[in-house]
A = this chain, B = another copy of it.
Amino acid sequence: MVVILKENPNEKQLENLKNWLTSLGLEIHISNGAHQTILGLVGDTSVVDIDLIKALDIVEEVKRIQEPFKNANRKFHPQDTVIEVGGVKLGGGNFQFIAGPCSVETEEQICYVAQAVKEAGAGILRGGAFKPRTSPYSFQGLGADGIRLLLEAKEKTGLPIITEIMDLGQLKYFDDVDIIQVGARNMQNFELLKELGHLRKPVLIKRGMSATLQELLMSAEYVMAGGNDQVILCERGIRTFETYTRNTLDLSAVPVLKSMSHLPVVIDPSHATGKSTLVRSMALAAAAAGADGLMIEVHNDPQHAWCDGPQSITPEAFAALVKDVKSILPFCRYSYE
């Protein structure tokens, strides 16, 4: 961390600042220029609240050099984290397909789709039970019943399941859920993250619509600081000025996150684009970019299903996509360790 002081700083305030920084265990290197004095701070600067220093009258500017996250940082943990659920691996060279319907509707539906995506090559089943909806008047999901139906599909197919939690009060229903998903709108629900840090179960965190990559890693850090180091990062599109697609899928998040962190990175092209016609293209691109997995909405029967979003693809389209992704993976290898 570098602190640039204003010209002729008040001596007493400078002394106070230096004492405080030293008390935090930091070493201070002073560089006196003709017009400017610069303090270089060496040590664990993740404990420093950068805003507090900026607030001081004698400070012109503060620049962070080290990243403020530790557990999620590849510098301190070079090897890729590998997540393992129900015999299925994700990360560290293990590419994984997570697929299923937007919402769980009926036992018949979820079991049918689960079987279909398993045959097509999916290793993990997704399905929404608690649904975050912008409008209080929209269908809010089947809730606990939805999780029960997912567990039936898990039993029938053997696929581990992932589903979203929206509030700590729902945690009691997640005992047999294999991966807990934190949605984009809850990425900075810090109380929820803290509690999930006390579990010993994988947590997939979706990037908030306007969250920077560093903020996503800080949210992962919340979970990991509690002792749970099984975190999966998921990019699902950010909010920009472009409105043709629902969000703008930021695929550069893949190489950036993987160089900054050892955690696996999954891409959700369905929610990012909001259009089924764009899913194949963005799924192949994500795999080519070096993602560790894909999360894709697959529905059973578009002619009768009112509840499938416009971003869902058919089991047939999903099977073709899996085949092509597997074909390109050998040519898209990266090394970050």
Contact = CB atoms under 8 A, between A and B. Distances in A.
Interface of A: 2, 4, 13, 20, 27, 29-36, 38, 40, 42, 46-47, 49, 51-52, 54-55, 57, 60-61, 63, 65, 68-69, 132-139, 166-170, 185-186, 188-192, 194, 208-210, 212-215, 218, 221-222, 225, 238-245, 248-252, 254-256, 259, 272-273, 277-278, 280-282, 284-290, 302-303, 306-310, 312, 324, 327-328, 331-332, 334
Q: For the complex of A and B, list the 7 residue pairs with the smallest distance between their C-beta atoms, beginning with the closest.
A: A210-B210, A167-B191, A288-B288, A55-B310, A285-B289, A284-B288, A185-B188
A243 B252 CA distance: 12
A287 B327 CA distance: 14
B225 A242 contact: no
A132 B29 contact: no
A69 B57 CA distance: 24
A308 B53 CA distance: 10
A169 B30 CA distance: 47
Contacts of A289: 281-282, 284-285, 288
A200 B110 CA distance: 40
Interface of A is mostly: mixed
Contacts of A47: 137
Given A38-B31, A210-B241, A252 B249 contact: yes
Most chain B C-beta atoms within 10 Å of own C-beta, residue among A134, A242, A282, A309: A242
Contact of A282 (B4, B42, B252): B252
A306 B20 contact: yes
Q: What's the number of copies of this chain in the assembled complex? A: 4
Nearest to A189: B189
B33 A27 contact: yes
Contact of A190 (B38, B132, B286): B132
Contacts of A137: 46-47, 68, 225
Contacts of A256: 244-245, 278
A171 to B, nearest CB: 11
Most chain B C-beta atoms within 10 Å of own C-beta, residue among A2, A54, A186: A2
